[in-house]
Amino acid sequence: MKRIEREAWAVFLLLFLAGAVAYAHVTTTAEEYSRYNVGWNGTSGFTAVEIRDLTDLNPDVTLLVLAPYRGFTAEDIGHLRAFLESGGRLLIADEEGNANHLLADLGSTMRVRPGNLSSLDRDHATSGLFRVSVVGDDALFAGVGTIRVNRPAAVEGGEPLLETSPLTWDDVDGDGRPGSKEVFGAVAVCAREGNLTVLGDPSLFINAMLPENPAFIENLQPVLVDAAHSRTGTTSPVINTIAWIQATPGAATALIALGVLPVAWRFGRKRDE
């Protein structure tokens, strides 16, 4: 092989590797709950199909609203009501109370009460990482006795499905120790009304927590994620553009054509000269 050819191949390889590194960098994010986040607090490892259209949902699957951050329109509420009435399961995982408006609009009495639940009844050094007991009969927790949670919020109302031990308190000052004004008591962190379920710990679906509760994750399948209202997306314009290209029929072909046509035109001119 001639020297110039070897140098050309070396340059090509370096450019390829640099492009691969750049692509990996711009197509990942550190945003919490994002499916584009491969780190401990992302949801890249959680198997689910993302949807943005709530019309004509299949009642045979579970619809998950994960860490909601955006309000629901009256039309959205109508689609969710129709989904629930047709027998579909709606699971809302929220720890900040953002789901409370949605719950009220759906006619539910359940509410998420934000806090910093901690427990002395734990098998981990961190007081906010502990196990709760399954206290309700539900397919989500079939074959499961306990669930490991990560600083969950309390869920008020409905039929309790997951409950902490009596050695649990709301660690208001965040020091990991029960204070004189912090009261012990058992608290529900998951409840249901019919096929509407509220879970006070969206972190159960992040990469670091998936190995902790494999049976629960398996029971959840098949599952759809409401990407229009959940924090599983990203604010990165690069990632969103790539996702749009992948989801839009013909977009990739058009972009390739835009790149190839100028090159073909240039070579065609050279051949005619």
Between 141 and 20, the higher pLDDT residue: 141
Q: What is the pLDDT of residue 189?
A: 98
Which range among 120-124, 184-188, 190-194, 242-246 shows the weakest confidence by mean pLDDT? 242-246
Domain ranges of the chain: 49-226
DSSP 32: T
Between 259 and 116, the higher pLDDT residue: 116
Condensed to tens digits (0 to 9), the pLDDT of residues 209-267 reads 999 999 999 999 999 999 999 998 765 554 444 444 444 555 445 545 554 455 444 54
Average pLDDT over residues 68-81: 96
**How confident is the prediction for the chain on average, in pLDDT?**
83
Distance CA 86, CA 82 (A): 6
Q: What is the pLDDT of residue 5?
A: 54
Burial 210-236 (b: 16+ CB within 10 A, else e): bebbeebbebbeebbbbbbbbbbbbeb
SS (H, E, C) 93-126: ECCCCCCHHHHHHCCCCCEEECCCEEECCCCCCC
Q: What is the pLDDT of residue 180?
A: 83
Between 74 and 239, the higher pLDDT residue: 74
Between 261 and 76, the higher pLDDT residue: 76
Q: What is the pLDDT of residue 174?
A: 87
Chain centre to alpha carbon of residue 219: 16
Q: Give this prediction's pTM.
A: 0.80
CATH topology of domain 49-226: Rossmann fold (3.40.50)
Condensed to tens digits (0 to 9), the pLDDT of residues 7-57 reads 545 544 554 444 433 333 344 577 899 999 899 999 999 999 999 999 999
